[in-house]
Chain A
Amino acid sequence: METFKHLISIQSLSNETIDLIFKTAKEFKEILQRPVKKVPSLHHKTVVNLFYENSTRTRLSFELAEKRLSADVLNFTVSGSSVAKGETLLDTVKNILSMKVDMVVIRHHHSGAPYFLSQHISIPIINAGDGINEHPTQALLDVFSIIEKTGSIQGKKVAIIGDIMHSRVGRSNIMLLTKLGAEVMICGPGSLIPIGIEKIYPVRIEYDITKALQWCDVANVLRIQLERQQQPLLSSLREYNLQYGITQKRMHALNKPILILHPGPINRGVEIDSNVVDGASSIVLEQVENGVAIRMALLYLLSQNH
């Protein structure tokens, strides 16, 4: 069986490893339908969840995945910790590891923090989102959900819509989708699309939301991340909704069905309207369900490396 030591970036995963992750997740998803949704596979492991940044879905999803695999779980959040007293990331982690922890899940506001850790500690690390860099488990669950719904990803036209500039979800999705042979379009206001992105990744850029929706089979709608914007990049959220929001009207104007994904948390009425989120095209809740299965698969596969 192919091995991988950490999950820091989508870039470092081979197609064989991605296939292995998806196959394993598919079997783990079956466990989540059983009367007893728990297996003893990691009962000998302890996992620490280091969350230096707010999270609801990802933190709960990792914690549930760990508990479904019977691992012991340590949860660390910045508030109430010694980080407020000036402790460095490495000191915090080394102290936790001296308590004999076997795996680290880390979310950090600084891009590159998981990579930095991987250079200093030997146990498996899973990146649960670092700054504006990557969110590999979200991309894996997004693509897993698309494949589950449509049968394949090769040749699918996927539009990633919204705040590409600040989105680690967008970046990881672009890497994973293009690696697996999907066609990727990014769509949003010019101020939220990094200059020259089409030279780094094989993506096309579209500024017209109507054309993007007409082109795609799948639309992955990103959250407008006002908290990461250092300067005003939008005139108003109302105007953003008028120009780029996924509205019922825009959905009705399409002459074909498309799948709608959103990584959450959703700003209803900004990047997407409530009736679209809750409508038949949306698979946002399936994404959340698949997130647990994907994270179980990753924890299980990485556990062999320690």
Chain B
Amino acid sequence: MKTLLTAQEINDMISTLAAQIVASIKDLDEVALIGIQPRGIYFAKQIFDIVQQTISTPGPLLRYGNIDITLYRDDLYQHITVPKNTDIHFDLHQKKIILFDDVLFTGRTIRAALEALNDFGRPSQVWLCVLIDRSASRQLPIQANFVGKTLNMSFEDKVIVHMLNNPDAYYVEVTENKQEHGNI
């Protein structure tokens, strides 16, 4: 395993993404930031806090929530996992949603998240913001609107994002399959 991104690099990336979001989206009143469990929720909350500080006071009512896609996975028939918390306390109807996840890999998590979102209402638009885009490994026609870093690694390589409550402890590790045999 080698470290791909340090805490400083990740936090700089998050600040840049927050600035891009503020610059490109009008009517923040109609916007909701939703993090995908487990790591996307920390990512989304951090962006939410930065955007809140950036916008004027009293600013638009920006909303924040988190969503768990476990029950919408397309491989549940193979193995099941215990669902995590979903917390969306507002109607998504006609809202502009920005979904947050740490890594965009095959696209299957995002497909599941889009299906889950529909159970809370019909958003007018959904954007996707990811820290890392593994663009070469996509299995579904899904792409992100805001990307921190694009990686052109093979499908078998591993990218592990360490992202919990403390932004100072963030880091991203990668393992290339050629170097560590069997670690798929």
A and B bind:
yes
Q: A39-B72, A40-B72, A41-B71 are in contact. Are A24 and B83 (CB under 8 A)?
A: yes
Stretch from A27-35, A112-120, A163-171, A239-247 contacting the other chain: A27-35
Stretch from A81-89, A269-277, A297-305 contacting the other chain: A297-305
CA distance A34 to B83 in the complex (A): 15
Q: Does A197 contact B (CB under 8 A)?
A: no
Query: How many residue-residue contacts, CB under 8 A, span A and B?
Result: 48
The answer to whether A38 and B119 have CB atoms under 8 Å apart is yes
| A20 and chain B: residue at smallest CB distance | B82
Q: Which of A28, A35, A304 contacts B83 (CB 8 A)?
A: A28
Find chain B residues with CB under 8 A from A41 CB.
71-72, 76, 80
Which residues, 67 to 96 on B, are CB-close (under 8 Å) to A? 68, 71-72, 76-77, 79-87, 91
| A37 and chain B: residue at smallest CB distance | B119
Q: Does A249 contact B (CB under 8 A)?
A: no
Find chain B residues with CB under 8 A from A36 CB.
118-120
Q: Does A23 contact B (CB under 8 A)?
A: yes
| B121 and chain A: residue at smallest CB distance | A35
Q: A35-B119, A35-B121, A36-B118 are in contact. Are A23 and B82 (CB under 8 A)?
A: yes
Q: A44-B77, A304-B79, A304-B80 are in contact. Are A39 and B119 (CB under 8 A)?
A: yes
The answer to whether B119 and A34 have CB atoms under 8 Å apart is yes
Q: Does B49 contact A (CB under 8 A)?
A: no
Find chain B residues with CB under 8 A from A20 CB.
82
CA distance A255 to B77 in the complex (A): 53
Nearest Cβ on chain A to B150's Cβ, whole angstroms? 31
The answer to whether A27 and B84 have CB atoms under 8 Å apart is yes
Q: Does A1 contact B (CB under 8 A)?
A: yes
CA distance A39 to B91 in the complex (A): 18
| B81 and chain A: residue at smallest CB distance | A1
The answer to whether A35 and B76 have CB atoms under 8 Å apart is no
Nearest Cβ on chain B to A297's Cβ, whole angstroms? 9
What is the size, in residues, of chain B's interface with A at 8 Å between Cβ atoms? 20
Q: Does B115 contact A (CB under 8 A)?
A: yes
CA distance A31 to B119 in the complex (A): 9
CA distance A34 to B118 in the complex (A): 11
Find chain A residues with CB under 8 A from B84 CB.
27
| B76 and chain A: residue at smallest CB distance | A41
Nearest Cβ on chain B to A295's Cβ, whole angstroms? 15
Find chain B residues with CB under 8 A from A24 CB.
82-83
The answer to whether B71 and A40 have CB atoms under 8 Å apart is yes
The answer to whether A1 and B82 have CB atoms under 8 Å apart is yes
Most buried by B among A27, A28, A31, A38: A27
Nearest Cβ on chain B to A34's Cβ, whole angstroms? 5
| A45 and chain B: residue at smallest CB distance | B77
Find chain B residues with CB under 8 A from A28 CB.
83
Nearest Cβ on chain B to A305's Cβ, whole angstroms? 10
Find chain A residues with CB under 8 A from B83 CB.
24, 27-28
Most buried by A among B72, B77, B79, B91: B77
| B93 and chain A: residue at smallest CB distance | A35
The answer to whether A301 and B80 have CB atoms under 8 Å apart is yes
Listed A/B pairs (27) with beta-carbon separation below 8 Å: A20-B82, A23-B82, A24-B83, A27-B68, A27-B83, A27-B84, A27-B85, A27-B86, A30-B85, A30-B87, A31-B71, A31-B86, A35-B119, A36-B118, A38-B119, A39-B72, A39-B119, A40-B72, A40-B115, A41-B71, A41-B72, A41-B76, A41-B80, A44-B76, A44-B77, A300-B71, A304-B80
Known contacts A27-B84, A27-B86, A36-B120, then 16 further A-B pairs from the complex at CB < 8 Å, ordered by chain A residue: A1-B80, A20-B82, A24-B82, A27-B83, A30-B87, A35-B120, A38-B119, A39-B72, A39-B119, A40-B71, A40-B72, A41-B72, A44-B76, A300-B71, A303-B80, A304-B79
10 nearest CB pairs, A to B: A36-B119, A39-B71, A27-B83, A41-B71, A304-B80, A44-B77, A24-B82, A34-B119, A41-B76, A30-B86
List chain B positions with a Cβ less than 8 A from chain A.
68, 71-72, 76-77, 79-87, 91, 115, 118-121
